[in-house]
């Protein structure tokens, strides 16, 4: 299995993974057209030409990015692939000179193990919440904001 930057040919597989997990309420749904537009944000996990996981690094500002749309096929979970996808996104943030990366999640313990710390929602800029309107949990959000300072 390898982690790599997503390609256009991966988008339909990323879409299927996100659609599956969005129906369970784990991630925000993303339209197929949006995924094509933002394919450069994604890292994927590939196992013998099969896309089994994905994660995006969405840049919000000169000093802030978000980890979003982290999905790993159920049959591939508990193998450390989610952590590898997040680490690949964090490495890209570091290469780009982005000092802070945040995540909104219902699985805070996973991200805390990766060095994120819980923060108050008010510490994040208001534009962070733009996607919330598409969330099935809106306005009763149960996601926890966490932040990691890269350097």
How much is the pTM?
0.90
Residues of the chain where predicted confidence (pLDDT) is lower than 70: 125-141
What pLDDT is recorded for position 132? Answer: 59
What pLDDT is recorded for position 120? Answer: 86
The b/e string for 36-53 (b: 16+ C-beta within 10 A; e otherwise) is eebbebbbbbbeeeebbb
Query: Could you say which architecture CATH assigns to the domain 2-149?
Result: 3-Layer(aba) Sandwich (3.40)
Secondary structure, 3-state, 1-66: CEEEECCHHHHHHHHHHHHHHHHCCCCCCCCHHHHHHCHHHEEEEEECCEEEEEEEEEEEECCEEE
What pLDDT is recorded for position 121? Answer: 79
Q: How many residues does the chain have?
A: 151
What pLDDT is recorded for position 151? Answer: 78
Domain boundaries in the chain?
Answer: 2-149
């Amino acid at each position: 299995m390898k982690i790599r930057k997503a390609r256009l040919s991966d988008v339909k597989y990323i879409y299927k993974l996100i659609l599956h997990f969005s129906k369970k309420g784990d991630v925000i749904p993303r339209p197929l057209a949006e995924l094509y537009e933002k394919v450069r944000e994604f890292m994927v996990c590939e196992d013998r030409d099969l896309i089994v996981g994905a994660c995006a690094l969405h840049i919000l500002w000169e000093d802030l990015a978000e980890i979003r749309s982290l999905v790993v096929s159920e049959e591939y979970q508990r193998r450390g692939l989610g952590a590898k996808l997040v680490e690949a996104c964090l490495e890209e943030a570091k290469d780009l000179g982005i000092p802070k990366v945040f995540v909104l999640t219902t699985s805070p313990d996973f991200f805390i193990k990766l060095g994120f710390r819980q923060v108050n929602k008010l510490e994040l800029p208001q534009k962070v919440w733009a996607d919330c309107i598409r969330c099935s949990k809106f306005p009763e959000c149960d996601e926890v904001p966490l932040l990691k300072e890269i350097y």
